[in-house]
Amino acid sequence: MAATSTTSPKLAQPYELLEKTKLSPDSYLLRYEIRGRSILGIKPEIPTCIKVDYPDGIDAKTGQPKTLSKSYSPVSHPSEEGSFELIVKSYPIQPGGGVGKYICDMETGKSIIGSLKKERIMHGSPEINGRWKYVGLIAGGTGIAPLLQIARILLTSDQDTTTKIYLLFINKGEEDILGRSLIDQMAKDHPEQFFVTYSLTEDDKRGKYETGQGTVEMAQKALPPPSSLGDTMIFVCGKDGFVAHWGGPVVRGPKKPDGSKGPKIQGSLEGVLKDAGYTADQVFKY
């Protein structure tokens, strides 16, 4: 049943796959239709995130059938009307996982079941427009998705067209750089505002890129410097180990009354960013 104009996006509902584009051997750009309302979220300038259900999953602990879910941040601007886009990597199906492969194996015309997650509060607010003069984005692999959405919001803001955005995108090899053409076009369209550095963790025989997962020297070269004026923010997103390397681990608050996991909290600032001179109020671990 399609969503109606009175259906909250926070309720689970179908989103039909309209278009599927292969980005790498195991990753896709997927465009989905929004029915019954104009945009995916509640407000057109607030970053969005959608939880997708996988009905045929297997519980990692019991080995029994279980509906699994995984959250994905669209790479499209949250104000885009009628559709949204996800970048999804197809990991092998195994107990407790397989959502990505389930999504990537789906053919156009089929639908996922998704529900909008609540707004992410970033140092006191879900808003990102008009808050900083300098924004650094550190992405590892599919961690590029929410950071691309942030970049798109900032680059199209009517409030402030002077924010400078520095993207540091780290991948294993050149073929793993997801959305490369999109990123390069954004840099071309906004040469005075959007700056990109690519790094590879495997050998770069041609010497085209930075190398390694990240050092203080790389941070100093690719990101805006630390500031005591409150005008700089660094976002970092990727696998747990990647985030911990750059900013220290994201930790969990106390368990909920029902015994489920507590909410994610930022934890102390550690890693490369601390060594590079940033403070906790200048970093957000996505």
What CATH number does the domain containing 57 carry?
2.40.30.10
pLDDT of residue 137: 98
* Helix (H), strand (E), coil (C) string for 129-144: CCCCCEEEEEEEHHHH
User: Which amino acid, one-letter code, is at 264?
Assistant: K
Residue 6: inside a domain? no
Of 116, 144, 174, which marks where a domain is finished?
A: 116
What CATH number is associated with residue 275? 3.40.50.80
Token code pair at residue 21: 């584009």
Q: How far is CA 228 from the centre of its chain?
A: 27
Residue 121: inside a domain? no
- Cβ-Cβ contacts under 8 Å for 260 (sequence gap 6 or more): none
Residue 126: inside a domain? no
pLDDT of residue 63: 84
pLDDT of residue 143: 94
167 & 251 share domain: yes
Token code pair at residue 243: 């985030």
145 & 72 share domain: no
Residue 124: inside a domain? no
157 & 100 share domain: no
Residue ranges of alpha helices (H) inside the chain are: 99-104, 144-155, 180-189, 216-222, 240-247, 271-275
187 & 144 share domain: yes
pLDDT of residue 3: 39
DSSP reduced 3-state for 175 = helix
77 & 214 share domain: no
105 & 142 share domain: no
Whole-number Å distance between alpha carbons of 52 and 11: 11
Structural domain containing residue 160:
134-285
Residue 2: inside a domain? no
Q: Decide: 252 and 275 in contact? Cβ < 8 Å.
A: no
Return per-residue pLDDT of the chain as tens, 286 residues.
Answer: 333 445 788 889 999 999 999 988 889 999 999 998 899 998 999 999 999 999 988 888 888 888 999 999 999 999 999 999 999 999 877 777 889 999 999 999 999 999 999 999 999 999 999 999 999 999 999 999 999 999 999 998 766 668 999 999 999 999 899 999 999 999 999 999 999 999 999 877 677 899 999 999 999 999 999 999 999 999 999 999 999 999 999 988 887 787 777 778 899 999 999 999 999 999 999 9
Whole-number Å distance between alpha carbons of 230 and 241: 27
User: Which amino acid, one-letter code, is at 174?
Assistant: E
Domain count, the chain: 2
155 & 42 share domain: no
169 & 96 share domain: no
214 & 260 share domain: yes
161 & 83 share domain: no
pLDDT of residue 264: 83
Residue 128: inside a domain? no
Residue 36: inside a domain? yes
Token code pair at residue 32: 């989905």
Q: How many residues does the chain have?
A: 286
Q: Angle at the Cα of 112 (from 109 to 116), degrees rounded to 5? A: 130
71 & 212 share domain: no
89 & 169 share domain: no
Of 116, 143, 169, which marks where a domain is finished?
A: 116
DSSP reduced 3-state for 236 = strand
Q: Angle at the Cα of 151 (from 149 to 154), degrees rounded to 5? A: 110
